[in-house]
Amino acid sequence: MKELISQFTGQLADAIKIGDNANLTHSKKEFQNIVITGLGGSGIGGKIVAQLVKDEIKVPIVINNGYTLPAFVNEKTLVIVSSFSGNTEETLEAMEIAQKRGAEIACITSGGKVLEIATENNYNHIVLPACHSPRAMLTYSLTQQFYILNHYGFIGDSFKKSIANAIETIDSNINSIKEEALKIAKGLKGKTAVIYSEEGYEGVSVRLRQQLNENAKVLAWHHYLPEMNHNELVGWAGGKDEYAVILFRNDSDYSRTQRRMEISKEVIEKYTNTHFEVWSKGNDAVEKSLYLIMLGDWISIFLAEVRSVDPIEIKVINHLKGELSKLS
């Protein structure tokens, strides 16, 4: 896993090449909404991208993480099916519903049943390189979400320059990224991580939570501001030093939200001595998000090392799949 995480920027560069060379056909349909359906490492890319394009895109995007689809899905819906393996059962069931309702379907996958269905039905699809750990391939699925949205005319192509800039920023700061990540990982040992960010970066927080779950084998939770100020902040009256707070910050966060963060810190510091502020680097939200994702990935890997656990191992998920396979 450590080797895969080290390939982050190389994967981004490769993902750009894959997107540029994708053979996608045009559609004359006028879409009223978009649904991105996928789970885990395949699904989080959609959430992150949906937040990153919200100031540009003119139709609503709904992230779907289950077996069914919203009732509004019809022939005027673009359904982006994201499954790295191509065999995720929840995603396949949602895809079948999309087919029955006549939705436009575009797929992002490395193979499996999703690629088979896409090929048989001439659905637009982008094929990703195969890998045993989808969570280590977020770079690919995330990048292709941009390409799909661009192909259908929902967004421009400025994301390409942003990703290229992010690669340069991350590569030039990789040593300091690792140093900061190691410091945070050591501070997290024996504690429960609580991850906060501005609302537009919630997907980045979810990504870190997922990585801590799978790589470091620990529980964690996340929330975002300003919403957190209307509920969870009160809960800190029951806080204690077993919690470790990671606060993702950006110089572009809304001014009043930044002030809320400062006040929230004052409250939280009364109940735990373990808190970290992580500031992004980059010129826009895409660059900043990728920077924070890279740093978060390293936190999860270093915490796995600190805890002496195998970041690759997912026996409990394999057990779950095995039990589900027994159902008729």
pLDDT computed for residue 4 by the predictor: 84
Residues in the chain with pLDDT values less than 70: 132, 314, 320, 328
- Give dist(CA 325, CA 328) in Å, integer: 8
Q: Say how many domains are in the chain.
A: 2
> Are residue 213 and residue 289 in the same domain, yes or no?
yes
Cβ density class 88-121: b for 16+ within 10 Å, e for less: bebbbebbebbeeeebbbbbbbbbbbbbebbeee
pLDDT computed for residue 152 by the predictor: 97
Rounded to a whole number, what is the distance in angstroms from the first to the last CA of the chain? Answer: 35
> Are residue 97 and residue 194 in the same domain, yes or no?
no
What CATH code is carried by the domain that includes residue 205?
Answer: 3.40.50.10490
> Are residue 126 and residue 224 in the same domain, yes or no?
no
> Are residue 188 and residue 126 in the same domain, yes or no?
no
**Strands 61-64, 33-37: pairing kind:** parallel
Residue 316, domain member (yes or no): no
User: What distances in angstroms separate CA 120 from CA 115, 130, 305, one per listed residue?
Assistant: 8, 20, 44
pTM for the structure as a whole: 0.94
Q: Which domain holds residue 204?
A: 171-306
- Give dist(CA 275, CA 290) in Å, integer: 22
Q: Is 221 helix (H, G, I), strand (E, B) or coil?
A: strand
Residue 289, domain member (yes or no): yes
pLDDT computed for residue 320 by the predictor: 66
Residue 315, domain member (yes or no): no
pLDDT computed for residue 172 by the predictor: 98
> Are residue 129 and residue 10 in the same domain, yes or no?
yes
153 burial (CB, 10 Å; 0-12 / 13-18 / 19+) is exposed
pLDDT computed for residue 327 by the predictor: 80
What Rg, from alpha-carbon coordinates, does the chain have?
20
Pair 34, 61: CB distance under 8 Å: yes
> Are residue 111 and residue 79 in the same domain, yes or no?
yes
Residue 161, domain member (yes or no): no
- Give dist(CA 10, CA 200) in Å, integer: 26
Active site amino acids: 214, 230, 321
> Are residue 272 and residue 234 in the same domain, yes or no?
yes
Handedness of CA 80, 6, 304, 318 (dihedral sign): positive
pLDDT computed for residue 328 by the predictor: 60
